[in-house]
Structure 1
Amino acid sequence: MKDSASQPPVVIQRADYRPPAWLVPDIALDFLLDLSATQVTATLDVERNPAGDGGPLRLNGDGLVAQSVAVDGEPHSAWRMEGDDLVVDLPGEAHQVTIETTIDPTANTQLSGLYASGGLLCTQCEAEGFRRITFFPDRPDVLSRYTVTLTADKAAFPVLLSNGNPMDSGEEEDGTHWAIWHDPWPKPSYLFALVAGDLVATRGTFTTMSGREVELAIWVRAGDETRTGHAMRALIASMAWDEKVYGREYDLDLFNIVAVSDFNAGAMENKGLNIFNTRYILADPETATDGDYDGVEGVVAHEYFHNWSGNRVTCRDWFQLSLKEGFTVLRDQQFSADMGSAPVKRIEDVRVLRSAQFPEDSGPLAHPIRPNSYQEISNFYTATVYNKGAEVIRMMTVLAGSERFRAGTDLYFERHDGEAATCEDFVKAIEDGAGLDLAQFRRWYEQAGTPQVDVAMTHDAASGSVTLAFKQTVPPTPGQPVKQPMVIPLRTALFDRASGAHGGEHLIVLNEAAQTFTFDGFAQAPVLSLNRGFSAPVAINAPQSVDDLVFLAAHDDDAFARYEAMQQLVVQHLVAAVEDRLDDAARAAGRAAIAGALGAILADPALDDLMRGELVMLPGEAYLAEQLNPVDPARVHAEREALKAWLGTELGDAWRALHDRCSAVPYGLDAAARGARKLKTQALVYLAAADPAQTALRAKAQYDAADNMTDRQGALMVLCGLDGPQREAALADFHARFADNRLVIDKWFSLQAGSLHPKALDHVRALAQHPDFTLTNPNRVRALYMAFAANPQAFHAADGAGYALIADLILALDPINGNVAARFVAPLGRWRRIEPQRAALMRAALERIAAAPRLSRDVREQVSKSLEG
């Protein structure tokens, strides 16, 4: 663990970027693999960089000891250690440097670099893990061709994998074997990978658009191969889609994926050897929900798409992270939309943005999608860089149209193939290729915060004109108190009330603090449909009457706008209730309007069940909290639950009929069956709020009859929030049934930690002592504690016990895995937006963490910013 207590944090500034003094065109790595003592010999061909500063060769390390250093084949003594870095003074223009190190993968609980996972050896090098393997200029703008030789005991490690194409292999009389891999494409060190262990492969092939046949393999532990079929289909579909939509062809003879149980993130796009968390590879109906299937498909696609948007064109420095991640998130979103329901996918993406990124933008950790500084780069793998980054590029597609945007991306890949590029390079390519002026648009890369757009509509009956007046503001964020107007493209329609139709969609582009737009031909005031398709990642304040929102929820032909109208109908009502602005009559009228709109949705024969399932979901408590400042989480929870219970009673017959209808639909992966499963659980949610005792019986019957994980988990989720024998029986059965499946037991932990049960906090305390719980597996930690931190009624316990629980976790986890521990700081960092009593308790929890003597850089940065920001 990196100890930051004894020294002030080093702040890395984007403005300080300088090209490397030395380049490494080629590197040869020789590994003698062992779980506790792996020997690494690195031979670097180094060349002085003409654009560099002429300084010495600086090779980054992290906890390494150089056992020997040689230059041009001779022992070399003119080197020194500066902190963790090995610095070599070299004359002339080119040399060969050889360094020997020994590392202990089993002791590497940080899961960064080379580490052990259940007898396997695997790597994770993004962002700065390679320096934990060998000394190297570990920065993304040093691109090298890698030749890797792996040697290991064949019985312990029968499979030896690395990047690129296999070149040779053999066995020795001492029981060892070896394999040589070569990657012909220059890549930065963060894309290096190796895996060694006892694995089996599911194999396939793909023929590229130029006629080359690529071998495909997904490597898993024996027994898991039966659950890799969906991932293989997703990979093949991704390769075909990227050729069709972006013209990108795969460029090696082999594409390998390995699934491992211990992994800090979801997956990693290492060139030709993707390493995945098992969560995003293994799926079958018995163990994976429909959401899990979608997750596998989306993440497999995401990592494959990185082969071009991240590997062939990589980042110049880590400030440019959204160059690869924002663009690739957009690409995987587009792929998933094409593979399934595009409207539903858009709604899901916006829900994620609003629940994860909007709070980030309004809190102490707010940052632009291209940050200006950092202390620990792992802290910038954020919803802002990924999800908001995708939305910013999506706005370019709105402004350019699909054909011109494709011309821009073609130009980007043509200009920068084989280079380490910047966000500016990407914007410039889109600008030139699509023929756009993106000068002001670049502010999206520079300014943090979610723009707020206020809209007022006036109608002049005499002239038949409608005027829309817009005002935009970008709120202050840490380090950026004053903001400039953004370019905001808003897809807009004006509906005729009588016909229920509109005369065409308009693209309104805001670029000033205040603007007005006038439309003619409206004898009657129209109904405004704004930000259709969520064309811009902004918060809209356009007060609309209940009648207008009900109209849009029933008639809007844009699926997202219809969903948004339903959400806003509920948000306006609940915010007014929380703020005590509703008398009895207003409360009754608001509830009646929501029930009427929901009833119409349930009865609409034109809707498919997948979309119906989205329209009936109430806004989440995190999104509701964003509408209030300060927020009383208990009051938000109480009002939302009261509304849910009332709707469960008022529409009880409809919910029961819906549950019965959907229960009769047989299992399948088609849209109709998936929609039925989604609606089935939503019906249970409303019924449980209205009549817990009877719904417990119905939910247990669904659990017992389930022939798939979606139905079983949906029923168990509802039961977890209820008291009664059905809850305990289902939880016991679920654990016994899946005791040998780590991913499914993660669900068992998560469902209890995230439940509506009034004793959820006590349940989490007990589960932390369960024999199946461990702090060393990130999936298990997230399953229990992240589900709890996202459970407002439990996390925000009035006495602060929830905050103390998360603080205790951070302090216990940080010495084991600082990267994962740091992810739990953000929920506490929201204290400024919470009512004063809870805010004081949250701040006290942060101060207790800050006072700890030995914090990782990851946690130290997040805590200090949360206290100061």
Structure 2
Amino acid sequence: MMREGSSPVLVRREDYTAPSHWIRSVDLSFDLDPAKTLVINRMRVEPNADRPGEPLRLDGEAITLTRVLVNGESVSFRNEGGQLVLDKLPTEAFDLEIRNTCAPEKNTELSGLYTSGGGFFTQCEAQGFRRITYFLDRPDVMAVFKVTLKADARAYPVLLSNGNLIDSGTLDKGRHFAEWSDPHPKPAYLFALVAGNLVCREQKIRSRSGRDHLLQVYVRAGDLDKTEHAMNSLIASVAWDEARFGLSLDLERFMIVAVSDFNMGAMENKGLNIFNTKFVLASPATATDVDFGNVEAVVGHEYFHNWTGNRITCRDWFQLSLKEGLTVYRDQEFSQDMAGEASARAVKRIEDVRQLRQFQFVEDAGPMAHPVRPDQYQAIDNFYTATVYEKGAEVVRMMATLVGRAGFRRGMDLYFQRHDGQAVTCDDFAQAIADANPDSALSVRLEAFKCWYAQAGTPRVNASGQFDAVAGSYTLTLSQRSPATPGQPGQAGKQPFVIPMALGLIAADGVALPLQLEGETAPHGTERVLVLEQTSQTWVFTGLGELTAAPVPSLLRGFSAPVVLEWAASEAELFTLLAHDHDAFNRWEASQKLALARLLAAAQADGGAAHLDEAYLQAMRHVLRDERLDAAFKELVLTLPSEAYVAERLAEQGVPVDPQRIHAARETMRLQLAQALHDDWVWAWETHQDNGGYRPDPLSSGRRALANLALAMLVLAATLRHDPLWPGRAYQRVKDAGNMTDRAGALAALVNARASLAEPALERFHAQFRDEALVIDKWFSLQASASESDGMVFARIKALAQHPDFTLKNPNRARSLLMVMTQNPAVLHRADAAGYVFWADKVVEIDAFNPQLAARLARALDRWRALAEPYRSAAREAISRIAAKPELSPDTREIVTRSLAD
């Protein structure tokens, strides 16, 4: 890592060139020792015929070189710009041997080979392999790997690497070895090794193709009982990928290993996935419904990478969304299919869109805005972003919408037929989908569609409609504009996007109307997908002569494109959609718009006053009591928009953001909902108790979610009127709940209401789970995310940072307090700037030993320019203080420098 005195290197996509040499095979030998691991790296190297005579430049970092041999003989070498440079090499293929050592126990960056909990683990994406040995550490260099691991047999009885186990045995002095071979060429970032004292859950399966496979999940002793759900998720993932895309597991075995010290969620190393324990370990006693869902999604995501990322990988890191966006789309589809019923699928879609808006839309509006396929970077680790992942998935989803489900499968088949075993680009993927569907909207508009890869920012789509009762027609006009983003001007410098707009028309009585466009001889269903590809377009729907009132348009159904829809809907139209829309996403969206209008008005009023009118309350009551609606959907509708979402909507209008005023308005509204619907909350609580055995299925999870929301509302109302009934019930639930979802929900209800029983409940919870690291993470997070009141939550966070169980060295624990604090606006944005000072101090402290973690924490104030005073000036000062540190890592420096740039 280049630090003091170094200048960050700007890497540009347009400068891509193929490497001077190719590495065709790698034979690695590791003599594992925490203090000094010996690595012997034997490579078969082939000069690139297109670049004859060029030196070989190998990447290396934080390693000690001991020997370099070419065809068995020592050669001279030099170090230049952090690379090992070899000149005057053979013009034909040759053998290169490099010996070096590294110090895993000193590797606090958790990139490369490091130790955790007495074992060895690796993380090589994006550029960690160079911290293990010298190599062409770039994704377009793909080689076949053979790996030999040697270690103390008692300390490290389990020795794992990629591919298939081909040999193992004992050595002298109490040591042993294992040899692994991966038959599939892969880039170095997909290399992995694990050595430790681990236990394993195994399952043999037979795939649809008739091959037998061994699935294994490795964890530390004592955690084996928490691996059943991960194994079931893996089995389901294998089956789903075969059924949906015809993609079979291509190795004899597939392994998952859980480690507690991990910067990411998980890593898709070929055949040996290394996971953060957070996304493997789950039992009813220790994991919530959300945790169970996350385990399923992440296990699926990493397994699906076996084909979309491993068998076909990225030509360069600018193409990161080629694997990540596509695989996020695949894991979202997997989770929806696992959910089953249409209502449960809709809930999953709503949750995904909420995540996109909370993080990606904010990113698009800030200094780190970048295209799905970035044009340049200084630290590639900073571009593992919501834009690359979540927006990238939406780009793939739009492709699927434009070609249809069957057409998308044809495109995927062609993609693998053309590119299996290659390192390719986003353009290659889009071309395959289009070529497989030559008559589709995507094929016709492919070049224009690629704007989604090249242009940053969230498009705004304005919609307006006019009903002609005499002609029986409804005219819809859609227009689009794009905001300016760093390095890219606004509308004048950007091309129109290709935007699929799914829509329907609804009569005032809720009837879905048949859709017939002008010029058509008959209607075609009640839902259509229009394609907006120009700055402005108009469509005329006919055949509406029986209507006496204008239809209500249901626009952007299912969130068919990642855009901000600007539609001046009336309250009456929104209430109609909420009550009758056949599209669950738009029913939920109507509820959010109704709540948002009231929140925005209150946040801009003096004193942050909020008033919920009877029409709104009655609509919420109707949703809550409607037995036809899924409980999980009700919980989403009755949850107010987040403070961060309200802030972004104000910023879009050019209104300076006052986080404390937004917080006050939302809290007032939440209290009014709690009080006005008191009897309805009691009904919801009593009706949605789940007294049977715990099941993480969508129906049961939805019932628990709604019951926990009802309990939170009842505790809030009771605490303010000093009624001990509901706080007492919540405390009892903390004591005797049969699962973590209900226990954590009750604890959160007490903490957020600032009930007197919150403190003893927190103490009891901590004492009960003091030995469960992931549960203690929840304990920290719950307190950091609590509703702020008179600075009490901020004071608690500062105290928790000194708690004996807190450490910055473990990423999960650091995130559980600090990252959660930054997502609690009323805590971070204090008038006295204390939140900013605390945040800046922690960014600098963490950066000294884990730049990746620090850089992610540094993103908290990306949107400081949108703040009102005094927050704006204080935030800028805090960012500037970080930027002034001379030894700041390139990762964090890029974040704060871009944040401060004009």
Same fold (TM > 0.5)? yes
The counterpart of 2:614, out of the listed 589, 592, 596, is 592
The residue number in structure 1 matching 2:629 is 607
2 CA distance for matches of 1:615 and 1:163? 45
The counterpart of 2:512, out of the listed 501, 507, 514, is 501
Task: Give the direction of change, closer, same or farther, for the CA distance of 1:54–1:416 in structure 2 (3 Å limit).
Answer: farther
CA deviation after TM superposition for structure 1 residue 499, in Å: 4.7
% identity of equivalent residues: 51
CA deviation after TM superposition for structure 1 residue 799, in Å: 1.1
Superposition RMSD on alpha carbons, in Å?
A: 1.5
Amino acid at match of 1:840: S
1 CA distance for matches of 2:583 and 2:46? 57
The counterpart of 1:753, out of the listed 777, 784, 788, is 784
2 CA distance for matches of 1:555 and 1:570? 18
463-472 or 738-747: which moved more? Answer: 463-472
- State whether structure 2 residue 377 is matched by structure 1 residue 379: no
The counterpart of 1:742, out of the listed 764, 769, 773, is 773
Does the 8 Å contact 1:2/1:855 carry over to 2?
Answer: no
1:23-72, Cα deviation, whole Å (9 max, x unpaired): 01001000000111100000111001123464111110012221111110
Amino acid at match of 2:858: V
Amino acid at match of 1:659: W
1 CA distance for matches of 2:249 and 2:64? 38
2 CA distance for matches of 1:615 and 1:91? 68
Does the 8 Å contact 2:608/2:665 carry over to 1?
Answer: no
Amino acid at match of 1:275: I
2 CA distance for matches of 1:430 and 1:212? 29
Amino acid at match of 1:410: D
2 CA distance for matches of 1:592 and 1:583? 19
Does the 8 Å contact 2:504/2:512 carry over to 1?
Answer: no
**1:10-409 correspondence runs (5 A):** 10-52=9-51, 54-77=53-76, 79-89=77-87, 90-340=89-339, 341-409=344-412
1 CA distance for matches of 2:671 and 2:460? 32
Question: Counterpart of 1:755 in 2: which secondary structure?
Answer: coil
CA deviation after TM superposition for structure 1 residue 471, in Å: 1.6
1 CA distance for matches of 2:752 and 2:321? 39
CA deviation after TM superposition for structure 1 residue 801, in Å: 1.0
CA deviation after TM superposition for structure 1 residue 597, in Å: 1.4
- State whether structure 2 residue 432 is matched by structure 1 residue 456: no
Q: Unmatched 5+ residue regions in structure 1?
A: none
The residue number in structure 1 matching 2:880 is 847
Does the 8 Å contact 1:365/1:866 carry over to 2?
Answer: yes
Does the 8 Å contact 1:114/1:132 carry over to 2?
Answer: yes
Question: Counterpart of 2:495 in 1: which secondary structure?
Answer: coil
CA deviation after TM superposition for structure 1 residue 664, in Å: 5.3
2 CA distance for matches of 1:230 and 1:610? 21
1 CA distance for matches of 2:781 and 2:109? 23
- State whether structure 2 residue 800 is matched by structure 1 residue 767: yes
Question: Counterpart of 2:306 in 1: which secondary structure?
Answer: coil
CA deviation after TM superposition for structure 1 residue 604, in Å: 1.0
CA deviation after TM superposition for structure 1 residue 724, in Å: 4.1
2 CA distance for matches of 1:638 and 1:354? 22
- State whether structure 2 residue 830 is matched by structure 1 residue 830: no
Does the 8 Å contact 1:648/1:686 carry over to 2?
Answer: yes
1:202-258, Cα deviation, whole Å (9 max, x unpaired): 000221222110011100111111110000000000000000101101111011110
698-707 or 635-644: which moved more? Answer: 698-707
1 CA distance for matches of 2:574 and 2:354? 19
1 CA distance for matches of 2:564 and 2:542? 27
CA deviation after TM superposition for structure 1 residue 843, in Å: 0.5
The residue number in structure 2 matching 1:635 is 661
CA deviation after TM superposition for structure 1 residue 738, in Å: 0.6
**1:645-684 correspondence runs (5 A):** 645-663=671-689, 665-669=691-695, 670-684=697-711
CA deviation after TM superposition for structure 1 residue 731, in Å: 0.5
202-211 or 765-774: which moved more? Answer: 202-211
The residue number in structure 2 matching 1:2 is 2
1:565-611, Cα deviation, whole Å (9 max, x unpaired): 11111112211222339999xx75x5322211111111112112122
The residue number in structure 2 matching 1:410 is 413
The counterpart of 1:477, out of the listed 482, 485, 496, is 485
1 CA distance for matches of 2:233 and 2:736? 29
451-460 or 358-367: which moved more? Answer: 451-460
Question: Counterpart of 2:121 in 1: which secondary structure?
Answer: strand
CA deviation after TM superposition for structure 1 residue 545, in Å: 1.2
The residue number in structure 1 matching 2:473 is 465
523-532 or 283-292: which moved more? Answer: 523-532
Does the 8 Å contact 2:712/2:750 carry over to 1?
Answer: no
1:773-801, Cα deviation, whole Å (9 max, x unpaired): 11110000000101100011111111111
Amino acid at match of 2:580: H
**1:701-720 correspondence runs (5 A):** 701-720=732-751
2 CA distance for matches of 1:54 and 1:623? 56
The residue number in structure 2 matching 1:535 is 560
1:589-645, Cα deviation, whole Å (9 max, x unpaired): x53222111111111121121222222111111111111122111111111111111
2 CA distance for matches of 1:380 and 1:593? 45
The residue number in structure 1 matching 2:523 is none
The residue number in structure 2 matching 1:569 is 594
Q: Unmatched 5+ residue regions in structure 2?
A: 515-525
Question: Counterpart of 2:738 in 1: which secondary structure?
Answer: coil
Task: Give the direction of change, closer, same or farther, for the CA distance of 1:583–1:466 in structure 2 (3 Å limit).
Answer: farther
Task: Give the direction of change, closer, same or farther, for the CA distance of 1:583–1:336 in structure 2 (3 Å limit).
Answer: closer
Amino acid at match of 2:707: K
Question: Counterpart of 1:384 in 2: which secondary structure?
Answer: helix
136-145 or 465-474: which moved more? Answer: 465-474
The residue number in structure 1 matching 2:520 is none
Amino acid at match of 1:804: V
CA deviation after TM superposition for structure 1 residue 722, in Å: 3.3
683-692 or 80-89: which moved more? Answer: 683-692
425-434 or 327-336: which moved more? Answer: 425-434
1:93-114, Cα deviation, whole Å (9 max, x unpaired): 2111111111110000000000
2 CA distance for matches of 1:294 and 1:317? 32
Does the 8 Å contact 2:510/2:580 carry over to 1?
Answer: no
Question: Counterpart of 2:614 in 1: which secondary structure?
Answer: helix
2 CA distance for matches of 1:500 and 1:703? 46
Amino acid at match of 1:182: S
CA deviation after TM superposition for structure 1 residue 697, in Å: 2.5
2 CA distance for matches of 1:424 and 1:501? 39
- State whether structure 2 residue 638 is matched by structure 1 residue 616: yes
